[in-house]
Amino acid sequence: MSQPVLIEPFFDPDSCTYSYLVADPATGDCAIIDPVLDYDHAAGRVSRASADRLIDYIQAHSLKLTWILETHVHADHLSAARYLQTRLGGRIGIGDALPLVQQNFAPVFDFDPVLYERQFDRLFADGETFALGELSVRVLHTPGHTPACVSYLIADAAFVGDTLFMPDSGTARCDFPGGDPRQLYRSIRRLLDLPDQTRLFLCHDYKAPGRDQYCCQTTVEAARAHNIHVGAGIAEDAFVALRTERDRTLGLPRLLLPSVQVNLRGGELPEAQASGIRYLKIPLDVL
């Protein structure tokens, strides 16, 4: 009998982000999903403790990093994808709707989208499958939070990015450029059509009121029955109204501007200027 897929979560308390290491026990091939690069916004300082924890785990367990996977272009943390690739190799992948996000933000940051697209090794089409050792990974486009969100299905596990939160927390916001609550509802229904016991691994948890512990996973069955935004048969129009009203109350994520311009490049930091200093752009009066 083959061993079950190995899944190890890593939590970043600053951004409330879960990254995942997923490995095929038969071959030792592994993937990292949604890795975090530590960033002190007030000081403009990058550090790599979160990514180094992943590296230490891979090396301690004699694994081989073959894939670094992003569920979407994150707006709340910088990606450590490029740093991990530099240290351990592997290919960086994201959904093939990435150019839509790049087009939305190119005028904001004044960059050439074509050059940014080349920072990724693979853009996955909806329904595409690829190998992780002897495991098969299937890609589902699950847009709505952003136009380029994808989920990765591996054995009985689905890594759903920001599409869904824990049942007591609901769903992701849809007010970023290209976001669409109606599209998000349909993406979620697609996930909830998976078998009941499919495990849903989430990118974030913020501890809903009354809950003391952070959680990284739920099941399709639990989400379908109990998710406060889409569970118990909530209709599409009702969800769109709820999500739209809720999004009106939300401020922009603290790290949106630094995160997006780095994450559109697969975690590649801006090139240093002649002084040796790297600079991030902060556009004024745009968002």
User: Which residues, including other chains, have CB under 8 Å from residue 114's CB and lie 6 or more apart?
Assistant: none
pLDDT(3) > 80 = no
Residue 179 lies in a domain: yes
Residue 131 lies in a domain: yes
Residue 258 lies in a domain: no
**DSSP codes, 16-77:** TEEEEEEE-TTT-EEEEES-EEEEETTTTEEE-HHHHHHHHHHHHTT-EEEEEE-SS--SSS
Residue 102 lies in a domain: yes
pLDDT at 111: 80
Dump pLDDT digits (tens) for 114-156: 656 678 999 999 999 999 999 999 999 999 999 999 999 999 9
Q: Three-state SS for 83?
A: helix
Bridge partners of 69, per DSSP, are 33, 93
Residue for token pair 């081989």:
64
Q: What total of structural domains would you count in the chain? A: 1
User: Which residues, including other chains, have CB under 8 Å from residue 105's CB and lie 6 or more apart?
Assistant: 177, 260, 261, 264
The CATH number assigned to the domain holding 234 equals: 3.60.15.10
**Helices and strands, number each (H, E), in the chain:** 8, 15
Dump pLDDT digits (tens) for 50-88: 999 999 999 999 999 999 999 999 999 999 999 999 999
pLDDT(215) > 60 = yes
pTM: 0.95
d(CA 62, CA 64): 7
Residue 267 lies in a domain: no
pLDDT at 1: 46
**H or E segment to which residue 287 belongs:** none
Residue 203 lies in a domain: yes
pLDDT greater at residue 111 or residue 35? 35
Q: What is the mean pLDDT of the chain?
A: 94
Eight-state DSSP code of residue 181: H
Residue 61 lies in a domain: yes
User: Which residues, including other chains, have CB under 8 Å from residue 138's CB and lie 6 or more apart?
Assistant: 127, 128, 129, 152, 153, 154
Q: Residue 37 sits in which domain range? A: 6-251
Residue 269 lies in a domain: no
User: Which residues, including other chains, have CB under 8 Å from residue 25's CB and lie 6 or more apart?
Assistant: 2, 3, 4, 5, 6
